[in-house]
Amino acid sequence: MTTPLSTPRPPTTRDPRRWAGLAVLSASLLVVVMDMTILNVALPSLAADLRPTSVELLWIVDAYALVLAGLLVPASALADRFGRRRALVTGFTLFALASLGALVASTPAHVIGVRVLLGVGGALIMPSTLSMIRALFSDPRERATALGVWGAMAALGGALGPVVGGALLEHFSWHAAFLVNVPVMAVAIVAALVLLPESRSARPPRIDLAGVVLSIAGMAGLVFAIKHLAKHGLDLQGGVAAVVATAALVLFVRRCLRSPEPMLEVRLFRGRAFSAGVLTALTTSIAMSALLLLGAQWLQLVEGFSPLDAGLALLPLAIGGLIGSPFAPAVAARIGARTVLAGGLAVAGVGFLVLGLAPGELHYPTLAVALLLVGVGMASLAVASAVIMAGAPTDKAGSAAAIEESSYEIGAVLGIAVLGSMASAVYRYGLGDGASYGLDPASSDAARESLAGALEVADGPGAALLAADASAAFTDALAWTGLAGGVLLLLAAYVVHRLTPRDLDLADAAH
């Protein structure tokens, strides 16, 4: 239907910069997501150079996630109030400066500081990209397409991290894993200032200092508690962290519900479609993080791939995402958003089940098929993002973005903690008692802790048998993780199908 000339249209609808702006937002997201996985490849080189203690190494790995999770809500509120482009450019600047800081990092404490600054920058960047897309594209169908591109970049970034990291480490030191961010962020700063219009909430949230403290304590405490309990089991430190995090989050939600202009609009969860989109994001993040972690280890330690070859071997995941994500919104317009949301989760679930149910011994072609199916299934994330962002009015775009990004962060932690812990239990059960391989107690503990530990301590007459049994036990763990992840995704598909309204149309969701 033709729009009458007298009917005003939102200025962002016909802003000629919107697609160029999307390119800036997508490129910045690509780098930030790559940075989450590139460190996994660089860790062995970093550890060999700086010799961190086990506690320091843990903080090098966890500092980024803890800071990012803790600051997502206040960062999105600040962006809504003071300007989303301003927050984005500040995040780009911090990300570049922190990455440059790696040049002078000569101790583990320095690297932890770099990771903290990267987390602050990431917290400003990630929700701002989503809320900027919501502001740039007021037409729901264009916005759905834009979010499809955004989702494809997220999938590509996760898979490219190990590839880029492996390629850099073949020629340079671990510092290169950080420095690769600098030129991209420099270009992004200039492009953002030129191409992106400033955007603020018409009804900016109130910056509640008590709420800031509660949200940081709650989110960072939750991430810490999950990680700690998964690694050490239920102990005093993990239990206290869980109680503090739960109490802080409950108090934060109560403050938000009582405030007319809350920092986080938790009332968005009243929308069934919004809740379905968040559940989709959470579940896929759980499955994806576990698959990338275990798959990369299996390729290198069992199949003998180099870090670069392992990264390339994971690319079917990105290829599947690139095939499905840009077209998912158009498919949803034809067959319904509910079908694409639930169907994507189901396809990803089948991909996981391939790992556990494939006949015979597991080899790379089976993993490649599983990765491709999971990548195609993850295309539902593009529709999930469209549903989440469309379910929030423009002035609440920051809240919607913070909720979606929080679901990704918590999902990634849960995936490694829950599915990773299950895989570790299967591995330890399959390996049995290290004493049967002639190992002393310390070496036996190292072998049962991880496959890398088993291969490192394998020595003497039982070395070949230990290496073979440990590899077989880890392969079994990957297969069982495939079964568990498949069941989880299929259950999520059922719940999402029930939650999502049958007649949900992305073109009408924002009205």
Inside any domain, residue 42: yes
Question: pLDDT band at residue 505, thresholds of 50, 70 and 90?
Answer: low
Residues 303 and 416 in one domain: yes
Q: Is the pLDDT of residue 170 over 60?
A: yes
The verdict on 251 and 263 lying in the same domain is no
On whether residue 493 sits in a domain, the answer given is: yes
CA-only gyration radius of the chain, Å: 23
**Average pLDDT of the chain to the nearest whole number:** 81
Band of pLDDT at residue 462, cut at 50, 70 and 90: low
Q: How far is CA 211 from CA 67, 119, 242, 312, 478, in A?
A: 16, 20, 18, 44, 41
Q: Are residues 266 and 390 part of one domain?
A: yes
User: pLDDT value at position 68?
Assistant: 83
Question: For residue 473, is pLDDT > 50?
Answer: yes
239 and 273 inside one domain:
no
Residue 125: which domain range? Answer: 14-208+259-430+474-499
> Predicted confidence band at 511 (pLDDT cuts at 50, 70, 90)?
very low
For residue 452, tell me if it sits in a domain. Answer: no
Query: Same domain, yes or no, for 240 and 306?
Result: no
- Structural domain tally of the chain? 2
For residue 301, the 8-state DSSP code is: I
Residue 369: what pLDDT?
Answer: 93
78 with 218, same domain: the answer is: no
* Residue 494 identity (one-letter amino acid): Y
CA distance 127 to 399: 9
Token pair belonging to 500: 């999502």
The pLDDT, as a whole number, for residue 487 is 94
The one-letter code for the residue type at 36 is M
> What pLDDT is stored for residue 435 in this prediction?
64
Q: Please count the helices (runs of H) and the strands (runs of E) in the chain.
A: 21, 0
pLDDT of residue 28: 81
**Residue at 189 is within a domain:** yes
Regarding predicted confidence, which is higher, 55 or 330?
330
Any alpha helices (H) in 196-235, and if so which ranges?
209-232
**Given pLDDT bands bounded at 50, 70 and 90, which one contains residue 40?**
low
For residue 496, give the H/E element and its range.
helix 463-499
For the ranges 2-16, 187-201, 401-415, 450-464, the maximum mean pLDDT occurs at 187-201
Least confident piece of the model among 13-27, 269-283, 430-444: 430-444
Same domain, yes or no: 311 and 359: yes
In a domain, 447, yes or no: no
Residue at 64 is within a domain = yes
467 within a domain of the structure (yes/no): no
171-200 pLDDT, tens digit each: 888 888 888 888 889 988 998 888 888 877
Q: What is the 3-state secondary structure (H, E, C) of 38-73?
A: HHHHHHHHHHHHHCCCHHHHHHHHHHHHHHHHHHHH
- Residue 425: count other Cβ atoms within 10 Å of its Cβ: 12
Binned at pLDDT 50, 70 and 90, residue 10 comes out as very low
CATH number of the domain within which 157 lies:
1.20.1250.20
What is the C-alpha separation between 128 and 130, in angstroms, rounded? 5
Do 266 and 389 lie in one domain? The reply is yes
Residues 42, 105: one domain?
A: yes
* 218 shares its domain with 110: no
247 lies in the same domain as 274: no
Mean pLDDT, rounded, for 378-396: 73
Once rounded to an integer, what is the mean pLDDT over residues 351-373? 89
22 pLDDT above the threshold of 80: yes
Q: What gap in Å lies between CA 80 and CA 200, rounded to an integer?
A: 5
Q: Are residues 228 and 287 in the same domain?
A: no
Asked if residue 506 has pLDDT above 90, the reply is: no
Residue written as token pair 């938000």: 256
- Please give the pLDDT value at position 444: 77
Of the candidates 260, 268, 258, 290, which has an alpha carbon nearest to the alpha carbon of residue 158? 290
Instruction: Report if residue 459 sits inside a domain.
Output: no
Provide the terminal-to-terminal Cα distance of the chain, rounded to the nearest Å. 17
